[in-house]
Amino acid sequence: MSLEQTPSACALQMKWAILAALFCASLICSCVLAARTPQAPRALTISPCREVPSTMHRIAANLPFPDAIEFDVPETDFVVESGTRDMPPGQAHPVTLRGHNERLEISNFELSFEKELVGFPVHSVRVHQSAIRTSDGRKIGEDHWGYFKTGERWRYLRFTSGEEDGYRPMLPKYSNLLDNIISSACLAPVPVGH
């Protein structure tokens, strides 16, 4: 038997090598694209509030109502402004990243970008919606999230208590920081007499 291969065997080996290289290249591209595609935030499960850490500022927009949600904001990284509105009556807490314009709005009435909000899902590449539940499984709201072709991400939360929280489309490096505040959500203790 000859050690030399026939031309057809060489051609067959070359075809298999090319197919293997194409498969590996497509696998690598898929992995890179999957890593660059923003992942939906994990579903919020809200537990009762614990003691406020010393480096945090705790805010809420819907106290003293049952199912009021509170958030812990790191004082070193964010500035919290609080305000009230007469019509409709309510509170708003814009939480702004220090040195930047990106902000999370925590409110018990409309968000400042409420009218724009309807267009966010329409212009998004991907939209995600999930239920917000308490630690005992009771549904208390919905979490809406999406991102544009440019990579900017937006988020909007609506609670059954009437509270609305969210942020306009922004770069993931900023939205990730605001998502950390959203993840700190906890249920305020129910006031005596309610």
More confident residue, 186 or 36: 186
More confident residue, 119 or 85: 119
Helix (H) or strand (E) holding 49: none
- pLDDT classification of 108: cutoffs 50, 70, 90: confident
| Residues sharing a CB contact under 8 Å with residue 189, sequence separation 6 or more, in sequence order | 48, 49
154 and 102 in contact (C-beta within 8 Å)? no
Q: Which of 38-47, 50-59, 70-79 has the lowest mean pLDDT?
A: 38-47
**Spatial separation of the C-alpha atoms in residues 90 and 84, rounded to whole Å:** 6
11 and 99 in contact (C-beta within 8 Å)? no
Cβ density class 88-112: b for 16+ within 10 Å, e for less: eebbbbbbbbeeeebbbbbbbbebe
Mean pLDDT, range 172-193, rounded to an integer: 88
pLDDT of residue 164: 92
Q: Across the chain, what does the average pLDDT equal?
A: 83
More confident residue, 191 or 83: 83
Q: Specify the length of the chain in residues.
A: 194
Half-sphere exposure of 122 (CA within 13 A, CB side): 4
Q: Is the pTM of this model over 0.85?
A: no
pLDDT of residue 112: 87
| Residues sharing a CB contact under 8 Å with residue 10, sequence separation 6 or more, in sequence order | none
pLDDT of residue 25: 58
- pLDDT classification of 1: cutoffs 50, 70, 90: very low
More confident residue, 162 or 2: 162
Residue from 89, 116, 88, 94 nearest 106 by CA: 94
Write the CA distances from 132 to 9, 118, 128, 160, integer angstroms: 61, 20, 13, 10
**Residue 98 backbone phi and psi in degrees, to 5:** -55, 130
**Spatial separation of the C-alpha atoms in residues 145 and 137, rounded to whole Å:** 21
pLDDT of residue 33: 45
More confident residue, 112 or 16: 112
pLDDT of residue 192: 63
